[in-house]
Structure 1
């Protein structure tokens, strides 16, 4: 390992996040400080609907406090639990935020969100065979707006800068590669 942890101390904690400050030593002997945000695992879901009229995805639009605006993104989130079944989490987040349930969930991969500063796994799922029910948003999600857009419109939203969520864009890129590679099975 090129960086060794000398000491670590937690400097902040709330139900969703903890922040620690680590004293580190690099391979060249120089010491420094590294700030790390720790979060429990999350899932992001690509809700894909195929119809005779084309392919559609479902997006959530919500206010994101940290950047001061409303943005569209794929349903995603975590349950503030370190040990959670990724598919159960993905199905739960999909139902909570959209009211959708999926016949089939395919685990595409597990990514890391902003690993330069944060330690959080992000399980990427493709949801197919969708059925609409009632959403069950958390108290923080009271302003969610569900949007159904064509795949073409979604991709235009990405290219125009209307969708800026790196997790949604990365999930979509992963899905496109998965399709090109012949849909290798990643069933869980």
Structure 2
């Protein structure tokens, strides 16, 4: 009889999880897109996190915390992927320009921001995404990432300083290119 009860509960858990995913998939995909720059990788990240979360769904007592749990799984998964990747990147003095398909300022700003986020270490990127995009408090971010509030603050401070440096560097590069273009056209 106990075996039948477990089987009887399973479809309910599946339906509950399916309802959760249906209701939250857009928000969760946006979170994944902020963690990895490539849209296809973001979909893979979310799918992997959903599979891992489903296996532990019955262990999440307070389903209101499911988003936080799933974001943590996405961060851990992204970190695993990052550690496992083959080092195919070659450090350079200058980063390539970010390409923008549609030309609108909003998309250009977003593309630049997503591109600039890639200069951050995974831990820094996670803190920036959770604090500024997900608008989590310092304490919520600390809990989600398993670190102290002080570590979140110092990591965020260093990450924002690094982003400022990168923006300033790119701005100087853009001004130099504009100056060269004006001089070339004037000649």
Query: The TM-score by the shorter chain falls in which range?
Result: under 0.3
Query: Which structure ranks higher in relative contact order (CA pairs < 8 Å, sequence separation ≥ 6)?
Result: 1
Tell me the TM-score normalized by structure 2. 0.25
The answer to which structure has the higher helix fraction is 2
Tell me the TM-score normalized by structure 1. 0.25
Choose 1 or 2 for highest CA Rg. Answer: 2
